[in-house]
Amino acid sequence: MSRFLTLTLDTRGVTCRARLLEEEAPRTCAVVWAALPLTAAVFHGKYARNEIYSLVPRLGEDPGKENTTVTPIPGDLCWFTFDGADLGNPAYGYEAEREHRAAGEGGIVDLALFYGRNNLLINGDQGWVPGNVFGEVVDGLPEMAQACQDVWMGGARGETMTLARAQA
């Protein structure tokens, strides 16, 4: 039986529902599921295009690469693992204190939702950045995409994203 999670932009009050891709990404799904619920500040993608994401300290055992892509499609949930040096360029705009603290705890996990087409996971400093696709939105993507556009155009300050377990 499939497991589901909800992804909510808390301030904007918009939620979508996603199915975990446990056959394609079993290790990533297991680590995410065990860590739920998670709430963290949300950011909008700078390079990948139609993406919102949260950065959290390492969540248990790193799953390694599985079901990777550099061209996520609308509704994909992706996992990326970074160490502190990967995000050290001041142009990224992350708070240095948070970045160093996360690096000291074993790295940073980026949990991302892609809400539109034509995404390409390439970074000017790092090159190709493949992500593990671990979930797919099955309900609420149009409303979430509108809210994500508002994060892009209206600003992310103060917005948080919560991932939580959902009923099948």
pLDDT digits (tens, 9 = 90+) for 29-43: 999 999 999 999 999
Q: Residue 86 to residues 90, 99, 100, 115, 156: CA-CA distances in angstroms?
A: 11, 10, 11, 24, 22
- Domain with 142, as residue range(s), is 4-166
pLDDT band at residue 98 using 50, 70 and 90 as cut-offs:
low
Name the more confident of 152 and 97. 152
Can you say how many angstroms the Cα of residue 129 is from the centroid of all Cα atoms in its chain? 13
Percent of the chain with pLDDT over 90: 71
Q: Residue 39 to residues 9, 10, 57, 160: CA-CA distances in angstroms?
A: 10, 9, 12, 7
Looking at the predicted structure, is the pLDDT value of residue 159 above 80? Answer: yes
Domain count across the chain: 1
The pLDDT value recorded for residue 93 is 57
CATH of the domain at 63: 2.40.100.20
Residue 87 is classified by DSSP as G
The pLDDT value recorded for residue 167 is 85
Residue 72 is classified by DSSP as -
Nearest-CA neighbor of 3 among 140, 111, 136, 110? 136
Q: In degrees rounded to 5, what are phi and psi of residue 96?
A: -60, -40
Q: Residue 25 to residues 5, 60, 77, 133: CA-CA distances in angstroms?
A: 15, 16, 11, 7
pLDDT digits (tens, 9 = 90+) for 25-77: 999 999 999 999 999 999 999 878 999 999 998 888 999 999 999 999 999 99
